[in-house]
Structure 1
Amino acid sequence: MTTLFIDRKGLMLRVDGAALAFYDEDVRMGTVPLRVLERVCIRGDLQLSASVLGKLGEQGAGVVVLSGRKRAPVLLMPSLRVDARRRLVQFALAAQSDFCLLMARDWVAEKLRGQLACLDKLSAKNETVRRRLQADVEVVVRAAAQVEDVPDGAVLRGLEGVAAAHYFAALAKVLPDSLGFRGRNRRPPRDAFNVVLSLGYTLLHFELVRQIYLTGLDPFVGFYHEPAHGRESLASDLLEPLRPLYDEWAVDLFAEGVMRPEDFSMRGEACMMGKAGRLRFYAAFESAAKGWRPLMYRACMDLLAALGAARGETEGFEPSEMLLLERQDAVADCV
């Protein structure tokens, strides 16, 4: 089965027999067979009729419409035959501490490996930097070695917290003093690097929320992060291994001069990114996100497979394909 992701303005969707057809100013651009669709995600302004929604519903295909700056879903018509089954398994396993710990260990272990890879890359620049980071790196190494033996989520969170403190302390030793970074802070971020971290983590979080909806799971029910009002805990779970990749990219943003200290100013205790900086940041982020999105998709597919394996399920837990309609040539390729 396939998820169709439409991110192009001005298209018109019509039903043409057993296919979904795409038109641009009455010119037919391509079709996709309805029978292969599991869900359709719409992220641009386009036209479609009630008959299209009705036909998708008859085929059991879900429709997700994303709108606004955070691209939060404003309409969800789930493919109940698939989604309901997946979510029931998700809810049941989220109540089992052994399964939650198993998944959490994997995510945290991958995150710590990513942190060590980031620090190793920074240390490789010269021997002086390596010596400055050595003590902090050793703490993260010890934490990574203990992950598989932690008895519960609380201990795992404590271990992750200790590693994070030393990881960010190491980053502070390689970032320019002009950024004023002394460690992780937020709500509000109080220096330029923390502004970039918080903004990027937020954008990645909502990319994961979208991907989780497309997978047919509930983003609010996680396995490592406990349920909290208004928090997509599963997205927070899946974000953990991606953070070091983003951190490394954020360091490079300043090293390469894409972002500069003068792009930021203080308003009370909060550090703010100026308009010129935001324009450069969003352009750079969108370019980098093209490489991160496949990782998010794979994380969701791996989780789906783990859920099915844990409950002995096969039907409805197979990985799905993603079909992206973004440019005119991409649409034409679907004919």
Structure 2
Amino acid sequence: MSILYLDEYGATLRASGGRLLIEKDGETLVTARPQEVELVIVLANCGFTSAAAQILLNQGIDVAFVDTHGEYLGRLEGAMGKNVLLRRRQYALADDPEFCLALARALVQGKVANMRTIVMRYAREGVTNLHAPIAEMAAVLDGLDVCPSQESLRGMEGTATAAYFGAMARIVQPPFSFSGRNRRPPQDPVNAMLGFSYALLLSYVERAVSAVGLDAYCGYYHQDTYGV
């Protein structure tokens, strides 16, 4: 399965003869069978025809829109699943503080453990001065089981994430450099790559959540905020 990128100014995705074509100024740049495509990335100033949209929706091909800085804007989505009972259960659990805290704690534990594992791998490969961030993430992991609230959990996650990106500043090697996370717009190639990767990941997660009939905007960790 492949990803189609509409990233040239003025490019258009069309459908012809059961195939998807990316065209610009009358020239065909890319052709693909819908069965071979899993995702279409559309950057600003590109578009697609209604015939192409019908094929994408019928084949369940995800379409993610990102801006020129790689920030996620949204996605083309088909009809919502009809399992209303499943969403009712989802909403009911979102009002259960104990369930929300337990699930959020498990998510943060997984995230911090993975970040620590990545940094430890680079330490074994010879990158120096990583002991402090590894120890800081370990301390966060030790304290998560007794974390009393979502607010304190977010603080602990922030501490671990800051330690992780601090370690990344030592891990990233020339010709690239990384002094910390920044966005909107990203100030360096590493942050640009991170932002674009997060946009792709968010599109995949939204698709997976929607595919099983759940509401992607009903959260258990970062909970309901109007307009966000």
> Normalising to structure 2: TM-score of the pair?
0.68
Between Structure 1 and Structure 2, which shows a larger proportion of helix residues? 1
SS at match of 2:79: strand
Is 1:72 matched with 2:75? yes
Q: Does 1:84 align with 2:84?
A: yes
Following superposition, the deviation at residue 92 of structure 1 comes to 0.7
Q: Is the 8 A contact 1:136 1:169 kept in 2?
A: yes
How far is the alpha carbon of 1:73 from its aligned partner? Answer: 3.5
1:94 and 2:97 equivalent?
A: no
Q: Deviations over 1:182-233 (max 9, x none)?
A: 11122222222111111111110111101111011000001001224565xx
* Deviation by residue 1:131-162 (Cα, 9 ceiling, x = unmatched): x1001110011001111110010000000111
Distance 1:47 1:213, change over 3 A: closer
Aligned equivalent of 2:26 = none
Q: CA deviation at 1:181?
A: 1.3
* 1:324-335 equivalences in 2 (<5 Å): none
Percent same amino acid among aligned pairs?
A: 29
- Two-structure CA RMSD over aligned residues (Å): 3.1
Report how far residue 64 of structure 1 moved.
Answer: 6.2
Residue equivalent to 2:112? 112
1:145 partnered with 2:142? yes
Q: 1:105 offset after TM fit, Å?
A: 0.5
Q: Which residue number corresponds to residue 204 of structure 2?
A: 207
Distance in 2, matches of 1:210 and 1:200, equals 16
Partner letter of residue 172 of structure 1?
A
Judged with a 3 Å threshold, the aligned counterparts in structure 2 of structure 1 residues 178 and 68 are, in CA distance, closer, same or farther, namely closer
Deviation at 1:166, TM superposition (A): 1.1
Change in 2 beyond 3 A, CA 1:42/1:180: closer
| Segments ≥4 residues shifted beyond 6 Å | 41-44
Listed as ranges, the gaps of 5+ residues in structure 1 are 1-6, 12-23, 30-40, 54-62, 232-335
Q: Which runs of 5+ in 2 are unaligned?
A: 5-14, 20-32, 41-50, 67-73
Which amino acid is 2:158 matched to? G
Cα distance in structure 1, aligned partners of 2:225 and 2:187:
25
Matches within 5 A, 1:1-335: 10=18, 45=52, 66-67=62-63, 69=65, 72-78=75-81, 80=82, 83-126=83-126, 129-130=127-128, 132-176=129-173, 178-229=175-226, 231=228
Structure possessing the higher radius of gyration over alpha carbons: 1
Q: Distance in 2 between matches of 1:65 and 1:195?
A: 25
Task: Return the alpha-carbon distance in structure 2 between the equivalents of residues 140 and 47 of structure 1.
Answer: 47
Secondary structure, aligned partner of 1:114: helix
In the TM superposition, residue 179 of structure 1 has moved relative to its aligned partner by: 3.1
Q: Is the 8 A contact 1:64 1:76 kept in 2?
A: no
TM-score by length of 1: 0.48
Q: What is the Cα deviation at residue 45 of structure 1? A: 3.7
Structure-2 separation of matches of 1:136 and 1:180: 18
What count of residue pairs does the alignment treat as equivalent?
A: 179
Deviation for aligned residue 1:95: 1.2
- Could you tell me how far 1:98 is from its partner in structure 2? 0.7
* CA positional deviation for 1:65: 7.0
Deviations 1:298-322 (A, max 9, x none): xxxxxxxxxxxxxxxxxxxxxxxxx
Paired residues of 1:65 and 1:75 also in contact (CA < 8 A): no
* Inter-partner Cα distance in structure 2 for 1:197 and 1:65: 23
Tell me how far apart the structure 1 counterparts of residues 112 and 215 of structure 2 sit (CA, whole Å).
Answer: 26
